[in-house]
Amino acid sequence: MTVLDFVKLLRANLLLMVITTLLGAAAGWGFSLVQTPLYTSSSTGFVVVEAQGEGQSTVLSGSDLAQERAQSYLPLIHSRAVQDEIQRSTGSTVAHGTLSADVAPNSNLITVSATASDAAAAADLANAALQATADVANRLEGGSVVRVEALEDAQVPASPSSPDTIRNVLYGAGFGLLAGLTIAFLRRLLDVNVRTTTDVQQAARAGLLGTLPRDDAFQESGAGASTGSPRAMEAVRQLRTNLKFVSIDNPPRTISFTSANPGEGKSTVVASLGLALAAAGDRVIVIDADLRRPRQATLFGVEGRVGLSEVLAGQVPLEDALQVVGDDGMVLLPAGRTPPNPSELLGSERMKSLLEQLSQDSLVLVDAPPVLPVTDSTLLATSVDGTVLVVKHAKTRREHVEVARDMLGKVQANVIGVVLNETPAKGVGSDYYGGGYGATHQAYDAYLHAPNRARSTSAHARSKDLRPLRRSRS
């Protein structure tokens, strides 16, 4: 992972990390609330050595002997003798608090610290512990020239030393942030669905022809797809443009659209693209070759009981099965009735001859069955000039796209590109979970709704590209 990938990962999971950080901080704050406040107070003493010289004594407070003695007195703070002395002087035991002692580096200063749940008790315990340590040490020294003197009494602390709420909140926030990062990385490592343009191109090993946004107009049924949002229509027009530039020298005349699994939106992609191509002046014929679950007749609101099945079976002439739909003359060949042998019909020589006949003066778009459930689509792929894979954003598994690609490859299908369908409003890019085309789509919306009368008229005219008739014309 590059630095740029890491930054994009952080941006895509920013909300998650903010939430986990706040939860961690709240947990640290809550932990502080349930803790009993503790107060710490310290008293200081020093070790002195009396040196005899020329008939008078001199106090040597910084000698090596004093420092050595100060270190040796530290264990006394936890001795039974000191505890008994504390109880005798204060009437309470050390059990009411905790004691610790330390010597400042390169000095003979002894600091005794006491911690208790009461501020005054902590100060009293620190003073008593220092005095008790001095008394015990002086008794141990006997008539020695070394003694311990109290220097500074402990003061009653104004605030508790524990819990440290700020520290706990910061620690909790840090652990929460780390948890958010861990979840983000695990999501990236464990997620098996296609979410970015890079994912779909790597899985299909084909170029990206377009990304279609999630739009209610693409999901309507019964009366046919209605006019979508400007962003959605612009995405379809972009797909139309990219499809025309797939092969300049030898452009495909028959193109099948399939997907790895059912429900990935290939039928709505074919319908919308067919209308857009017809609006651009192309002669377009859409064939509903998904004989098991036909959708085109429902999308355009036309009668679909007679269609491809009857034509291939020789029961109905081709001219009687074709229907003109939309404002711009797009021709639809519905699926017809579901036959008992869809695979044999779609892989037959009659199907190949039909495609060759229709492609003489029209661009033929074939709504093919999904690849994984049935073999219909792989058989059909051998009869068309090119195949387009439709992949549904965040729903299609990468391994399913790879298997579909391999199955098409075994029959030498010409996969000319892939379409990423139902992308979120923010768009997708080559990064993980976000970025990419979201800003472009927002720019489309702003441009197509700009308060310029001349431009608005043009946009309104172009918006008719995707508006089909709710009836058929024969």
Cβ contacts of 411 within 8 Å, gap of 6 or more:
378, 379, 381, 382
Residues of the chain with pLDDT > 70, as a percent, come to: 82
Q: Could you tell me where the DSSP H helices lie in 48-164?
A: 64-73, 80-90, 119-141
Which is nearest to 226 in space by CA: 272, 176, 273, 168? 272
Q: Are residues 250 and 316 in the same domain?
A: yes
pLDDT, residue 92, reads 64
Q: Residue 105 domain-assigned?
A: yes
Residue 463 has pLDDT above 70, yes or no: no
Please classify residue 404 by burial: count the beta carbons closer than 10 Å to its beta carbon, then call 0-12 exposed, 13-18 middle and 19+ buried: buried
Q: Are residues 171 and 259 in the same domain?
A: no
Residue 435 has pLDDT above 50, yes or no: no
Q: Are residues 243 and 181 in the same domain?
A: no
Q: Are residues 266 and 168 in the same domain?
A: no
Query: Are 299 and 225 a contacting pair, CB within 8 Å?
Result: yes
DSSP assignment of 425-469: TT---SSTTS-TTHHHHHHHHHHHT-S-HHHHHHHHHHGGGG---
Query: Are 4 and 141 a contacting pair, CB within 8 Å?
Result: no
The alpha carbon torsion through 428, 430, 434, 440 (nearest 10 deg) reads: -50
Q: Are residues 31 and 56 in the same domain?
A: no
pLDDT, residue 95, reads 58
pLDDT, residue 90, reads 73
Instruction: Calculate mean pLDDT across residues 267-292.
Output: 94
Query: Based on the structure, what is the number of domains in the chain?
Result: 3
Confidence of residue 462 (pLDDT cuts 50, 70, 90): very low
Q: Are residues 146 and 175 in the same domain?
A: no
Write down the pTM of the prediction.
0.66
CA distance 252 to 364: 9
Query: Are 401 and 200 a contacting pair, CB within 8 Å?
Result: yes
CA distance 355 to 371: 20
Confidence of residue 464 (pLDDT cuts 50, 70, 90): very low
Q: Residue 158 domain-assigned?
A: no
Q: Are residues 108 and 245 in the same domain?
A: no
CA distance 427 to 44: 67
**Which CATH number is 132's domain given?**
3.30.70.1130
Low-confidence winner among 25-34, 41-50, 297-306, 461-470 (lowest mean pLDDT): 461-470
Q: Residue 9 domain-assigned?
A: yes
Residues of the chain with pLDDT > 90, as a percent, come to: 55
Q: Residue 13 domain-assigned?
A: yes
Q: Are residues 136 and 16 in the same domain?
A: no
CB neighbours of residue 174 within 10 Å: 14
**Which CATH number is 330's domain given?**
3.40.50.300
Q: Residue 159 domain-assigned?
A: no
**Phi/psi class of residue 265: alpha, beta or left (left: φ > 0; alpha: ψ in -120 to 50)?**
left
- Beta strand pairing call for 284-288 and 323-325: unpaired
CA distance 332 to 294: 12
DSSP assignment of 74-90: GGGGGSHHHHHHHHHHH
Instruction: Calculate mean pLDDT across residues 75-101.
Output: 81
CA distance 139 to 245: 101
Q: Are residues 71 and 210 in the same domain?
A: no
pLDDT, residue 5, reads 74
Confidence of residue 445 (pLDDT cuts 50, 70, 90): low
Low-confidence winner among 4-13, 97-106, 413-422, 451-460 (lowest mean pLDDT): 451-460
Which is nearest to 349 in space by CA: 357, 337, 359, 338? 357
Q: Residue 157 domain-assigned?
A: no
Instruction: Calculate mean pLDDT across residues 112-122.
Output: 91
Positive or negative, the Cα torsion across 363, 414, 304, 395? negative
Query: Are 156 and 40 a contacting pair, CB within 8 Å?
Result: no
CB neighbours of residue 370 within 10 Å: 22
Residue 472 has pLDDT above 50, yes or no: no
Q: Are residues 396 and 383 in the same domain?
A: yes
Low-confidence winner among 51-55, 303-307, 371-375, 395-399 (lowest mean pLDDT): 51-55
The alpha carbon torsion through 328, 333, 337, 339 (nearest 10 deg) reads: -150
Q: How open is the CA angle 316-321-323, to the nearest 5 degrees?
A: 170
Q: Are residues 29 and 47 in the same domain?
A: no
Q: Are residues 138 and 75 in the same domain?
A: yes
- 348-404 tens-digit pLDDT: 999 999 999 999 999 999 999 999 999 999 999 999 999 999 999 989 999 999 999
Q: For residue 82, what are the domain limits?
A: 39-152
HSE-up (13 A, CA, CB side) for residue 412: 2
Beta bridge partners of 162: 38
pLDDT, residue 156, reads 92
Query: Are 32 and 456 a contacting pair, CB within 8 Å?
Result: no
Give me 399's structure tokens.
Answer: 């391994």
Confidence of residue 24 (pLDDT cuts 50, 70, 90): very high
Burial 70-96 (b: 16+ CB within 10 A, else e): beebeebbeeeebbebbeeebeeebeb
Residue 415 has pLDDT above 60, yes or no: yes
CA distance 425 to 445: 11
- 199-251 tens-digit pLDDT: 999 999 999 999 999 887 766 543 334 466 788 888 999 999 999 999 888 99
Q: Residue 473 domain-assigned?
A: no
- Average pLDDT of the chain to the nearest whole number: 84
CA distance 99 to 404: 72
Query: Are 264 and 404 a contacting pair, CB within 8 Å?
Result: no
What residue type is 310 in one-letter code? E
- 139-153 tens-digit pLDDT: 887 766 677 788 888
Q: Residue 262 domain-assigned?
A: yes
